[in-house]
Chain A
Amino acid sequence: MPVPDKRVTIDDVVASIRSGMTVGIGGWGSRRKPMALVRALVRSPVRDLTIVSYGGPDVGLLCRAGKVRRVVYSFVSLDSIALEPHFRNARQSGAVQATELDEGMFLLGLQAAAWRVPFLPTRVGLGSDVMRLNPALKTVTSPYPDGEVLVAMPALNLDVALIHMHRGDRGGSGQCLGIDPYFDDLMCMAAQKRFMSVEKLVDTDQFLRAGPPQSIRINRLMTDGVVETPHGAHFTECVPDFPRDEAFQREYAGTAKSDDAWDAFKARYLDVTETEYQAAVQS
């Protein structure tokens, strides 16, 4: 079959991310996050990233590891633990800058970037303090007789997108077997360089054995590289492959309480290769 080979390694992905870049991360809260790629970023020397995410532990880990200058978000949550404790610490100490948006504005920003338009109009934000907190946000007046004033949500242009899918092929097509695809396709289309980790790399003709055509949410126009990372979404939810590891997530959240706890967690789970991480969480 004439399919390109876009397979890369975790190191290849990290090597393409430089300090100061804007990185979009797929998933939602503590669900289907490309955690193997996030862990590799934590190990890397990059700094001063702008992270764009429907945020979960991806944001918390990167903030705690000192990789982040700014977070663009509408929430950062671990789902079963409502508030991400490392992100809270980073915000409350003033360690990271914040662009706090409504969830839907965030969607429109990604969509505008994907469609290569400078903004999309919306009523979302009017009347709320989103406008006061983000003075760069402008309004636009409808050129039609209604003359309505709308928010001009600017494109959220990304340097790099990182997403995680259940299945993928070597060409970089990706299949979501979970109930909600979230906004991963938009993340990819909003970015210059797009990397997808997958639980399992399969031959293209295996997609339809696992799910219907509409589950192949990521087509290969949306990706530049694919990397197989078994259990790579751990400890976030990746149903039907595995549920969230709640015990591990509680352990992770607990490390926000003291530097000692974080240092021990980091030595055991983050200052190690992905293979060593997976062995450590199995034990």
Chain B
Amino acid sequence: MTALRSGPPTRAEYCAVALAECFRGDGELLANPIGTLPTIGGRLAKATFEPALVMTDGEALLVENILPVGVDAPEKVVAGYNPYRTMFDVVWSGRRHIIMGAVQLDAFGNQNFAFIGPPDKPTAQLLGMRGAPGNTIHNKTSYWIPNHSRRVLVPQVSVVSGVGNDRAASLGDRLSTFHHLVHVVTNLCVCDFDTPERRLRLRSVHPGVTVADVVAATGFELAIPSDVPQTRPPVDEELRWIREVIDPLGLGEQEVPNP
């Protein structure tokens, strides 16, 4: 077993807590974080303040116990079967909150991870549309950006895979109700869309990060409230869950190194 980490919370642990906070209040939804730190955050939320969350083992099983990332799982407490076909039933019935990544994201939360450049001959073919159009139009969606920069937070995305607030609003009331962008968590800060136009707004900065740092790394005008708090630190119980159970190898720190 690896030596348990000690000391003050790392930047990655702040990110994990901020990612967990995306799910606060969700209750009995399928929490579907994609990627290492989102998974740590999602499992942390279920382990602590959102125990009713439904979560997968990363594949087709719904498990109730809190699994570690990056190591062989202890026995899985299986409560359900959720192959890809069933996942679409979950998504289209609106009972999921996904955290996706983004290669590009604009001020309204339009997301691209499909490709960059002309459709017939892209300069960079990336993931493709995957499930982003359907996820965003039916489900709560949050985003995780481990490399907050002007290359990612751009004035205009090359292709819209995940639907942003301006486009959703143009689809009418019913669809706007299903569409719900929650938070954007980055390695620097947490944003939400709590402005009248539903544009990206700075919600908190991680310790060691200034508002000016965030502005300098963002390629569009971010809504900035007069008072920007610091991101909430992990409480002791959360640190114990992260260090002893969910991320014993410290994979979070590999994704977001401590400054």
A contacts with B: majority SS: loop
A181-B87 Cα distance, complex, nearest whole Å: 13
Are B59 and A180 in contact (CB-based, < 8 A)?
yes
A-B contact count (CB 8 A): 129
A: interface residue count bin: 35 or more
A74-B137 Cα distance, complex, nearest whole Å: 16
B40, CB-defined interface residue at 8 Å: no
Residue ID in chain A nearest B59 by CB atoms: A179
Which single member of B60, B120, B132, B175 contacts A102 (CB below 8 Å)? B132
Please count how many residues in chain B sit with their CB below 8 Å of the partner chain's CB atoms. Answer: 44
Q: Please, what's the 1-or-0 string for B80-96, where 1 marks a CB less than 8 Å from any CB in chain A?
A: 00011100100110000
Are B83 and A91 in contact (CB-based, < 8 A)?
no
Are B121 and A94 in contact (CB-based, < 8 A)?
yes
Q: Please, what's the 1-or-0 string for B150-169, where 1 marks a CB less than 8 Å from any CB in chain A?
A: 00000000011111000110
B61, CB-defined interface residue at 8 Å: yes
A159-B88 Cα distance, complex, nearest whole Å: 26
Chain A residues with Cβ below 8 Å from B84 are 28, 103, 180, 182-183
A6-B199 Cα distance, complex, nearest whole Å: 59
Chain B CB count within 10 A is highest, among A28, A127, A130, A146, for A127
Q: Please, what's the 1-or-0 string for B113-135, where 1 marks a CB less than 8 Å from any CB in chain A?
A: 01100011111111111111110
Are A104 and B92 in contact (CB-based, < 8 A)?
yes
Are A127 and B161 in contact (CB-based, < 8 A)?
no
Decide yes or no: A97 and B120 within 8 Å by CB, A126-B171, A179-B61 being known contacts: yes
Q: Which residues of A contact B (CB under 8 A)?
A: 28, 73-77, 82-83, 87-88, 91-94, 97-98, 100-105, 107, 122-130, 133, 146, 148-149, 179-183
4 smallest beta-carbon distances between A and B, as pairs: A128-B133, A94-B121, A124-B134, A127-B163
